[in-house]
Structure 1
């Protein structure tokens, strides 16, 4: 490599490295460091912090609210993931066939992804889950299913499942498009050969489509895990009470401890140390899920 080329590469790379160190690496290190201290504000000087070691972590693990929030995000990750990927794959397979209205249906399914979560929450809580004039109430009433029509979806008892349904509805289109793009790369000759051998559509899906979508599925799972574990906006706006156990997740609880109500911590002071400890644990959870995904899917790749 010539000396001039080396200087040019350094000139282009150095600003990116500096920005990374300032705006990502430093805050990360400071967050981990702060999680071992008790402090009342994010902006407080380090000299005012009180070292408590792992007390922030052990205290969180004893709090029922934190355990509930973690279980909620675990259900979003697993149950929500099964629902979203099953429906997304189903629609992606259907969209491979040419039929009238295909493009319109594809646009309708993807539409929720271009709408802000707040607008989607308003739509679901006010016009679908509403106990007075919601769409579900009208449909179940028309079908004579009074018990289903009377379910108060926005009450704490049902709020988690209502939120999960709404979130899955808004997520299907995104993964459907990714799967569709991957399926279009599979040579049609494979399916023609399978048809000549007598394989029906179901056998072709399990024997050709699904194995060749392995890398795509791994990527989608990583995207889903990151979004599910960092689940925040839906939780924050779906319920008026930020500490509603039905919609509480670790990221929302972390925000409440760092900036929120005194009710969250049981006193007038904030618990920033515990909030940063939640951030560290969420990061470790994401790394653990990534490791599991890569372990399960392995390094073997199917070639088209």
Structure 2
């Protein structure tokens, strides 16, 4: 049996369970390879915008069960809400066992303060033109299907895979300006509020970079996504690093044996009757 990596804090975001672009198997492999003390789910974990009863495969249920099992085994789970799972915002500050739902989080690690949030509140396209953003999500689904078919052909021709969505995003007019503005607004606010680092997601662009202005500096951290980049943030030995699934020499880890053999109905039942450590539900003031 492989030894799991012990990590103090892990941050993942933009998983989009329940959507076609989600890569649940890779995420499950990663979760099975680590043993964190604290797991921060930084928004858009479940894609409620695109949720359909017709599509929620077994691998997606396995991820949910894995997270619940981690909670039951003592891992602190903090679920920070995003725009695709915004329905959970009405449950903000609710705690069930080791799972807490919040809209934002301030965390002190080794004498340094960090500000955690998903980041959609800094995206002007979300509050005012949500219907455009949702339409874009469905268009992205179509793009993913085309991309998978294209890569299926390329693989059989012995050619390198490509990412159509990334190509389009990289060639979109003003996309670089949008990303830079997003990063700078967040970093400036973190500096203004004296945070040593700021952790977000939302734009599917993993990054770790010091940002500076005339008032000071902060460490900008973006956990990326599990749609294209397959990245996470890890905190251990008093430092942050970006985990990249494709560069993990310890892979593959496989799903837990008990989960691997479970039928769909058994997975649903296990999630439905979940009772973490038999603790009562509490609501934080």
TM-score range, shorter chain: under 0.3
TM-score by length of 1: 0.25
Higher helix share: 1
Higher strand share: 2
TM-score by length of 2: 0.26
Q: Which has the higher contact order (CA 8 A, sep 6+)?
A: 1
Greater Rg, structure 1 or structure 2?
A: 1
